[in-house]
Structure 1
Amino acid sequence: MTQPIPPITLPPTENPQLEGEWLQQHLRLWLDTEFIPEAVNQKIAQRAAQIFVRQRMEGENDLGSLVIAIITEMKAFDFSKSFYGEFAIANAVSDLLLDSLGIDSCCGQ
């Protein structure tokens, strides 16, 4: 029988603003290097970081719930000047967070 994937829980936040700044910087770098640098990448990274910080300040530590929140709230973002969408952004945030925790996100590990 297939085993469910256990949830990934982030450590409780001590400084959500600092986490948000880190996320914004790393997401912007990822956006600029993954495809091409675009002016809108800064706005995308800023909005995703705002969502993340608010969720963390409200006590959310579950990575899956954070990803869903980013997908849901980024649906209202205007991606018309970008090659990305809300799912790519949420997945990138997840990968960046997993990497920061030392968890390999490749190949279902």
Structure 2
Amino acid sequence: MVEPIPPITLPAATNPVQEGEWLQRNLHKWLDQEFLPEAINHTIAQRAAQIYVRQRMEDENDLGSLVLAIISEMQAFDFSQSFYSEFAVANAVSDILLDSLGIDRCCGQ
């Protein structure tokens, strides 16, 4: 029988605004490095960080729930000027957070 993947819980937020600023910088950097630097990348990173901060202020610590919130809310974002989608952005946020926690994201480990 296949075992479910256990949820990943972030430490409680002590300064969600500072976390959001950090996330925005790192996501913007990731977006610029993954394809080509585009002006819209700043706006994408800013919007994703806003969603993240609001979720953290509402005491959301579950990484899966944070990813779903970003996907859900970024669906209203106009990605027509970008290579990215709400799914790519949410996955990048997840990877950035996992890296910051020292969690290996390769191969389901």
Residues 1:52 and 2:38 are matched in the alignment: no
Paired residue type of 2:74 = M
Displacement of 1:22: 0.3
Q: TM-score, normalised by structure 1?
A: 0.99
Alignment gaps of 5+ in structure 2 = none
| Matches for 1:1-109 after TM superposition, within 5 Å | 1-109=1-109
Distance in 1 between residues matched to 2:29 and 2:106, nearest whole Å: 19
Q: Percent identity?
A: 76
Structure 1 segments of 4 or more deviating over 3 A?
none
3-state SS of paired residue (2:102): coil
Alignment gaps of 5+ in structure 1 = none
Paired residue type of 1:102 = G
Q: TM-score, normalised by structure 2?
A: 0.99
Distance in 2 between residues matched to 1:106 and 1:23, nearest whole Å: 21
Distance in 1 between residues matched to 2:76 and 2:7, nearest whole Å: 27
Distance in 1 between residues matched to 2:107 and 2:37, nearest whole Å: 27
Displacement of 1:43: 0.1
